[in-house]
Each structure stands twice: as structure tokens, then as C-alpha cells.
Amino acid sequence: MRILTIACSLAALMAASPLSAQTLNVASAGDQNMVDYVKDFLGPMFEKANPGVKVVSVGTGAGDSGSQKILEKLDAQKGAATTDFDVVVIHQKAAGQMVREGLLDKYTANVPTAKLATGEAAKNALGTDVSGYVIPMFQSQTALAYNADMVKTPPSTFAELAEWAKKNPKQFGYNGIKGGMSGVSFVAGWVYAFGGDAEKLMKGPYDAATKTTWDKAFADLKEFNKNATITPGNAGTLDMLNRGEIAIGPVWVDMFYSWQADGKLPPNMKLKLISPGMPGQPMYYAVPAKAGQKKLAEAFIALATSPQVQADGIVKKFNWYPGIDASHLEGKLDKAAWDKLFVDVTPADLAKNGKAFPIAPYFNDILEGYEKKVAN
């Protein structure tokens, strides 16, 4: 019944104002697949539902630098009547800064599907309250991949993993903090598990003295590393798992499933999101404060974050976890698609153990602490 209500609200939103003979400009930070997703999938779908509307998709580049370019453009156009962009797809770091600098519209109360995204990522962007300003497009998550033939009972917690590594030396592998964020995510998760107040690290406020409480966690991680294999990077961890050189390692879930689909990982590989959790990060849909087509932008985002579009686009096309709560995709995916993404890591696992990265100053302290107290 709730999904039916959302669908009716979505239809009403699209019909609320004349949308003909208009252009919607969507700017996406991220890889080319992000731009193509709007251009080839979302755009045509929205245009078909709204004859006369043209969706123009542009990319600003991969990574945080792509989001930074969007921020700089919006900042440069603060004095203009309207901005060049009506919808922006941005990273967490930039989203928080854009909210603090008044560059985004507080729009989500006008989008019915916003109610379907209740996770922490919809409210907190690395310590900045972004409630009302963003709706997650997707959630990119890290987890532990393991060889089910070599590991019959995978560890469920960081403490269990530490004990497992002692009994199985060199069978756990990760890339430290070099060569990709899967290793950084593991280190952040280790500090969350053994370093004290994880909520404070994710939400702030920042206290420079907090890092002094991590000494034992880093000393234990240094000891843990004696039994670990250091891999060359994100892809290196997956490659060593594929070759059977390690049995467990942290990976990005979407990379894991892409490698498996391409035959570069055997089907006996599984995933575990251990407690108290590992970080991932969302991409956000947002509307610039001076967007010229706000109603059109809201209708577009409502479509993009509807359960069926999240199922068909985000999950099936990219192996990403949805931006809205995963439970709303039940019944929207065939069994094979659901089992692929949600059997090893369930929606409940995601809700409980899918964490945010620490706010920037704590994040930097963790990297510095690792270099000084673990890597050396």
C-alpha cells in the first residue's frame, strides 16, 4: 500500500506543472558510466513520461574532483538568476560543503520517494547535516570477500577476524591504505571496532585529543598485519582471492560482482559485512539553490529514486546497493537479482553494519596514525 501511495504521489508530482518544451540539465560527478546512466537510461525514461522535455546529461570528471568542479560552478554563479545545472550528482564531501555554503536547495519534502531513504547517509555527509538537501542515488559499500571452500565459517566481527588471522597466517589480505579505498575502509572499520566511539568519528564534533585513544587499536593492527598479506590495491586483493593466494579480504561490493560476472572470480566467493561495520559512501542527487527548473528537477529525482528504477538501474545495471532503503526493492527484482546482491549481505546487514567514513579531520588522523604506528 505504501509503494502504491508513493507511485500515486510520483505521478501527481510529474503532472503538477506543465513540463513541456523545457530542458533539464543534469551534471554528474563520477566515471563515464554515471553520465551514460542519465543519458541512456534515466533521461529517455523521463522524456517519454514528459513529452517535450529534453534531458541533457553532462559529466564533470571522476572522483571528488568532479564534485569540486560542480561546487566551483555553483559558487561562481551565486550572483546569477539561475545556474547552468538543474540536478547535480555529487559525492559526500562536496555535498556537505555545498550545504554549508548555501549552494543547494532544501527540496526533499517535495519528493515522495525521499521518505524511502531513511539511512544515515540521507542525513549525514561526513559530519554535516544534509537532511532535506540530498537523496542518495546509490550506496557503494565495502565488505569482506571470502572463499567459501577455504573458509567454512567466516568471522562475523572484527574481533573474530583477528583471532581467525592468528590461526590462518597470511590468508587475510588487504592493501593497507595504498592503492584504493577498500583497505582504507578496513582500517577505518578497525578503528570503529577497537578505537572507541564510532558515532563520534562519523558525525563529529572533532576533538584532536581523540586520536590519542587509538594507540592500542593501532598497536593491535600492527600485530594483526604480521599475519596478513599486503596486496597491491583494490584489484590486487580481488586478484589474489581469485588465485587462492588469500582466503579473505576487503572489497568494494560492486567490483566484486563485476569481476564475478566477468569470470574473474569463481562462484564459490561470498561476502560478509562484519560487525560493528565497514564504511561505504553514497552518491547524492541534489538541486542547486538557483536551479532554473526546480519542479522538473524534483520530478526527475522522484523517478530516479523510485523503487522500480532503483531496482532496474542501480542494482541490475551496476551492482550498487540502492540509495533508498533496500527493503523497498523486495518484489521489484527477480529472485536471481535479489539473491545476487542481498543474500550474503542482507538489507538488515546493510542497515546495521553499513557505516559512513569518518569526518574529514578524523579520517586524516586515522591515515596519519596508520602511517606512523602501523606501517612503520
How many angstroms separate the CA atoms of 128 and 111, rounded? Answer: 21
Q: How confident is the model at residue 6 (pLDDT cuts 50, 70, 90)?
A: low
According to DSSP H, which parts of 170-320 are helical? 181-194, 198-203, 215-225, 234-242, 253-261, 294-304, 307-309, 316-318
Q: Which pLDDT value is given to residue 13?
A: 56
Residue 95's pLDDT is: 97
- Please count the CA atoms within 13 angstroms of the CA of 45 that sit on its side-chain side: 19
d(CA 193, CA 148): 24
- pLDDT score recorded for residue 351: 87
C-alpha cell at 3: 509503494
pLDDT tens for residues 315-361?
A: 998 889 999 999 999 999 999 899 888 999 998 999 899 999 999 89
Nearest-5° angle of CA 353, CA 355, CA 357?
155
pLDDT tens per residue, range 126-184: 989 999 999 999 999 999 999 999 999 999 999 999 999 999 999 999 999 998 899 99
- In tens, the pLDDT along 85-126 reads 999 999 998 999 999 999 999 999 999 999 999 988 999 999
Q: What is the DSSP string of 216-249?
A: HHHHHHHHHHTTEEE-SSHHHHHHHHHTTS-SEE
- Phi/psi for 368 (5° steps) reads -65, -40
| Bridging pattern class, strands 321-322 and 124-125 | unpaired
Grid cell of 156 as nine digits: 562475523
3-state secondary structure at position 139:
strand
User: How far apart are the C-alpha atoms of 330 and 109, rounded to whole Å?
Assistant: 24
Question: Where do the domains of the chain lie, and which CATH numbers do they carry?
Answer: 2-139+281-343 (3.40.190.10), 140-279+354-375 (3.40.190.10)
Mean pLDDT of 1-26: 61
In this structure, the number of other CB atoms found within 10 A of the CB of residue 231 comes to 26
d(CA 139, CA 308): 16
Residue 9 has pLDDT above 70, yes or no: no
Question: Residues of the chain with pLDDT > 70: what percent?
Answer: 95
Rg (CA), the chain: 21
